[in-house]
Amino acid sequence: MQPLYCFAISAKRYALFNLDTKANITLRKASAHGLGHLMDPYSDEQAPQELPKPQVPLSEIGVARWQHDLWIRILQAAIDGHPDQVALDWHPSLSLPAAQRYSASSPHMLAWLDQYNAGKSYEDQIRPFGFLLVFTAKSGLLADAPDPESCVVEASQRGRPPKRCDVKPIAPFDSDPARALPKVFCRVTGKAVRAAELMTYADVLAQYHVSPEHKFDNGGHLDRGRTERRHIVATEFVWIGKEANQVGESGEADPIWSAVEEFAAKGSPV
């Protein structure tokens, strides 16, 4: 029997591990929450030799190899006394733009590809339920000065600057996102997007280990120690758009609103 340690960032971000007498880490269970949307930056065969190999099957740990390596880096930083400073340079692939795989599974998402599909034969288009890659444009301090001609969505009125939009980078699917980089374009304007304008894996993961837990007190970015459950008092209802998917068990036209009316009728605040 060995002591089992837990490192918890938030409710769904945690790792269970053992330590030997030399502080070597054996990861037993880890969460991939907040990581599963990213394509693997490298394969198991490309994993760095300087990081410890999994001592437990990855299927039992519950993460991919690169996610295992990220948790090792997070735990090493905590053991070394600087949990807020995690090195994200252990593999060259982390300096590449972070890619996500999406399926054109709805008319809304298929409309993203209007610029790409325009003028192409049906065989060369990204068709319904086909895959595509989605990237994230740098913003704020990470972004370079904007190109004056990029992402202008409509002509301006006299005396006013052109109306601009946020860059929405997508590309045709490729199992190797690096090969897709020359084909990245803004789905709003159809203009090419340079790799230097995209957030890298290191950029995306920069705050993963300090994710706040808003449901609890003492759960801020840099808080440590015991958290306390917040006490919430509901004062109003706000419709968020998903209620229309609900179907009343008794055939009500609007079961959510019916429940609210009944709740209000009993004297509770709405």
Residue by residue, pLDDT tens for the chain (270 residues) are 889 999 999 888 999 999 998 889 999 999 999 999 999 999 999 999 999 999 999 999 999 999 999 999 999 999 999 998 999 999 999 999 999 998 888 888 888 888 788 888 888 888 888 889 999 999 876 666 555 554 544 555 555 555 556 889 999 899 999 999 999 999 888 899 999 999 999 999 999 998 888 888 888 888 888 888 888 888 888 877 665 555 555 445 555 555 444 445 544 454
111 and 194 co-located in one domain: yes
Q: Are strands 169-172 and 185-186 parallel, antiparallel or unpaired?
A: antiparallel
Dihedral class, residue 23 (left if φ above 0, else alpha if ψ from -120 to 50, else beta)? left
* 83, 139: one domain: no
Q: Which of 199, 221, 256 is the last residue of a domain?
A: 199
What pLDDT is attached to residue 230?
A: 85
Q: What is the pLDDT of residue 254?
A: 55
What pTM was estimated for this model as a whole? 0.75
Which domain-ending residue is among 73, 94, 115? Answer: 94
Same domain, 24 and 77: yes
Residues 159 and 179 placed together within one structural domain of the fold: yes
Residues 106 and 89 placed together within one structural domain of the fold = no
pLDDT value of residue 270: 46
> Is the same domain home to 14 and 83?
yes
- Structural domain includes residue 206: no
Sign of CA dihedral 205, 207, 208, 214: negative
Residues 59, 44 contacting (CB under 8 angstroms): no
Of 177, 196, 7, nearest to 86 by C-alpha is: 7
Among 66, 94, 122, residue at a domain's last position: 94
Structural domain harbouring 174: 100-199
Predicted local confidence at residue 142, as pLDDT = 62
Question: What pLDDT is recorded for position 250?
Answer: 47
CA–CA separation, 133 and 171 (whole Å)? 5
What pLDDT is stored for residue 263 in this prediction? 45
Dig out the tokens for 97 from the structure.
């733009």
The verdict on 140 and 159 lying in the same domain is: yes
Alpha-helix runs per DSSP H in the chain: 58-61, 65-79, 107-111, 114-117, 177-180, 201-205, 255-265
Number of domains in the chain: 2
